[in-house]
Structure 1
Amino acid sequence: MVRWFKDLTRVKAVGEAFRSLGVDGCLAFEELDKQLRVVKDLVDLCGVARTTYLITANSLVSYMLRFRGEEFWSLFREFTLKRCNSVNDFTEAVELVKEFTKAYNNLSLEFKLRRLDSLIKCRELFKPLEKGDLRSYVAQVARCLSSEPYSKTVVFSAKMSYYVFRVAGLKAYLEGVNIPVDRRVSLITLTSGMVNVGTQAYGVKELMNYVDVLMREPKLVVEVWNEVSKVSGIPPIVIDAPVWIVGGYLSFNMGREEIVKELINSGLGGRVDVNVLRRLIQELTYKT
């Protein structure tokens, strides 16, 4: 059994690095997220209401994927753009997501289809979204699906809803919405040194051995990033994009300066001070 230890000194260091980055810096990271681009394309062609229904429903069955996340959402965009204008209501949106799931997301298919059927019965859970109240949305969808409010897919659907609001220029209330705990977020939780195992594990290769184990403790991961949020003054769901993107680079075992250069070349140059960026990467990769 693995024993986990929180390092509050590291939590403070990571939080201060995010405070230096600021909300605007996090938003610049979000623009590198291909999922945001998918949302923009759907809002442009399908409209805000249809996109909200389609994106949230698909997010809630976005697990055990046959493709990498970026490819999965690109497939969803292509599939949906051709069909979304025939969607007239929430039920039809979920039915379209069921079609996509059968074609491209069919691992554990029966369970995913049951989850989507349950969602159809909970139409009222979208009422908080009409007001941009993501915290209430998370609570209601968790009840609807007999899940936990920190469940990865539940929180991820809130994040994607936030992207819809952001693209549409609408106000979303983000306080109280946790970070979605996936492999990348769990990896950064370890490489940052905010959560440590009983042994002195260092380096991406060694720490990767503990990622799946840590993912079984989502409440711990959520708790740590909520503390980072308090230090930085940035909502956890906004912190997610930098963490997720850097986690992707680390998964390919890229070094710190290599990550910094890649981020600058990807579009952060001129938008985020390079020293602030370098400090953030240093703190997130502290144990590599």
Structure 2
Amino acid sequence: MAERKGVQGCGIEGCIKALVIVDRARISSVARALRNIPASAIDVIELNDPQYVAVKKLVYVHGDRAVAFAVANALVSYRLSLPGERYWLEFAEWASRIQTPSTGKDLVDAMKLFLAESRGNRMVTVQKARRLERASRILESILQEPGRYRDLSVLVRELADALGARPEEKTIVFAAKMAYYAYRALGIDVVGKDDIPIPLDRRMALLTSASGIIGAPPDKVFTRYRLDAVRAWHEVSRESGIPALHLDAVVWLPAHGIERHLRRGLEYARDEFARKLVGYSKGIVDWSTARQIASQVIYRDPYA
């Protein structure tokens, strides 16, 4: 059943604009389909994530200080001019050629140089540089004590405090995800990952609308209804038994190019999603299961 949420005390027109439909039935349907993915498949999907491949390269070059690199780049991973998969490979190629920084200032200065020459991160670079400066103290702490931040909840809390942001903000929870990837490449277990929400970027906003779990177009999901979407995916995570940190890779990766695919039709977009899911899982997720998941995650054309 769809649940309407509004803003108390607003005028009629304001309340109509504020209404958002969270469809509980759709949340359960998406979660039920995702429950068919075995844990072994999720493990393989993450290992094949180009972003994990990029972070693994950083670990090979910089050791445990790669955690700070991963966090720093995650904090400026928005308004990109390349898909996230390609952008992180560009970053890893650049970062593998520089000297390992010893202080937060060294890392921030290096990141500024990267922003000046990056092909995939060209927009609002001054704003991003200032963001890194505000996070410099945390980045230095990660460089000095990387093991302390294997508790991802500590990382999220300290980044949110340093940036004056909400803990569920996209780049902050994305920083936690990329830190997790770095620790995984280092062979270090993390704690606190079950409490990390899904990073809601534009691709996830489109999936939120396409899945029907939020009854709003993608641009509204990405702006006005971000928190509702994050909470809805938390419910999907809870009902499916897949922590949001892992669920992100499962649904985000196969959705690469979804906007372009939807122009060729709903069934085509579903087929492409399913094909990529089978591929990233190396066949552990079979075609039938992948297609069933695709039909729930891409339940409707969000632009129709």
User: Of 245, 257, 260, which residue of structure 1 is paired with 2:274?
Assistant: 260
5 Å-filtered alignment, 1:236-275, equals 236-253=244-261, 254-264=268-278, 266-275=279-288
2:173 touches 2:196 (CA, 8 Å); kept in 1?
yes
1:5 maps to 2:12: no
Give unmatched runs, 5+ long, in structure 2: 1-16, 262-267
Q: Which residue of 2 aligns with 1:202?
A: none
Q: Which residue of 1 aligns with 2:221?
A: 214
5 Å-filtered alignment, 1:12-23, equals 12-23=28-39
1:225 maps to 2:208: no
Superposition misfits of 4+ residues, deviation over 6 angstroms: none
Structure 2 CA distance for aligned equivalents of residues 256 and 219 of structure 1: 26
Q: Which residue of 2 aligns with 1:67?
A: 82
2:72 touches 2:132 (CA, 8 Å); kept in 1?
yes
Q: Which residue of 2 aligns with 1:286?
A: 299
SS of structure 2 residue aligned to 1:5:
strand
2:208 touches 2:218 (CA, 8 Å); kept in 1?
no
Are residues 267 and 220 of structure 1, via their aligned partners in 2, closer, same or farther at CA, if it must alter by over 3 Å?
closer
Structure 1 CA distance for aligned equivalents of residues 282 and 125 of structure 2: 42
- Scaled by the length of structure 1, the TM-score of the pair is 0.87
SS of structure 1 residue aligned to 2:215:
strand
Range with greater deviation from structure 2 (1-10 or 124-133):
124-133
Structure 2 CA distance for aligned equivalents of residues 18 and 165 of structure 1: 26
CA shift for structure 1 position 36: 0.8
CA offsets 1:51-78 (integer angstroms, 9 cap, x no match): 1111111110111223332332222112
Q: Which residue of 2 aligns with 1:194?
A: 213
5 Å-filtered alignment, 1:1-288, equals 1=17, 3-49=19-65, 51-85=66-100, 87-104=101-118, 105-123=121-139, 126=142, 130-173=148-191, 174-197=193-216, 210-216=217-223, 217-253=225-261, 254-264=268-278, 266-288=279-301
1:142 touches 1:149 (CA, 8 Å); kept in 2?
yes
CA shift for structure 1 position 212: 1.7
Give unmatched runs, 5+ long, in structure 1: 198-209
Query: What code does the residue aligned with 2:298 have?
Result: T
Structure 2 CA distance for aligned equivalents of residues 112 and 259 of structure 1: 32
Range with greater deviation from structure 2 (92-101 or 55-64):
92-101
Query: What code does the residue aligned with 1:151 have?
Result: E
Aligned residues: 273
Structure 2 CA distance for aligned equivalents of residues 175 and 31 of structure 1: 19
With a CA cutoff of 8 Å and minimum separation of 6, indicate the structure with the bigger relative contact order. 1
2:255 touches 2:273 (CA, 8 Å); kept in 1?
no
CA offsets 1:115-148 (integer angstroms, 9 cap, x no match): 1111113357646862511122111101100111
- Scaled by the length of structure 2, the TM-score of the pair is 0.83
Identity in percent: 30
Are residues 281 and 15 of structure 1, via their aligned partners in 2, closer, same or farther at CA, if it must alter by over 3 Å?
same
Are residues 46 and 106 of structure 1, via their aligned partners in 2, closer, same or farther at CA, if it must alter by over 3 Å?
same
CA shift for structure 1 position 99: 1.3
Query: What code does the residue aligned with 1:101 have?
Result: L
SS of structure 2 residue aligned to 1:149:
coil
Q: Which residue of 2 aligns with 1:200?
A: none
SS of structure 2 residue aligned to 1:99:
helix
Query: What code does the residue aligned with 2:245 have?
Result: I
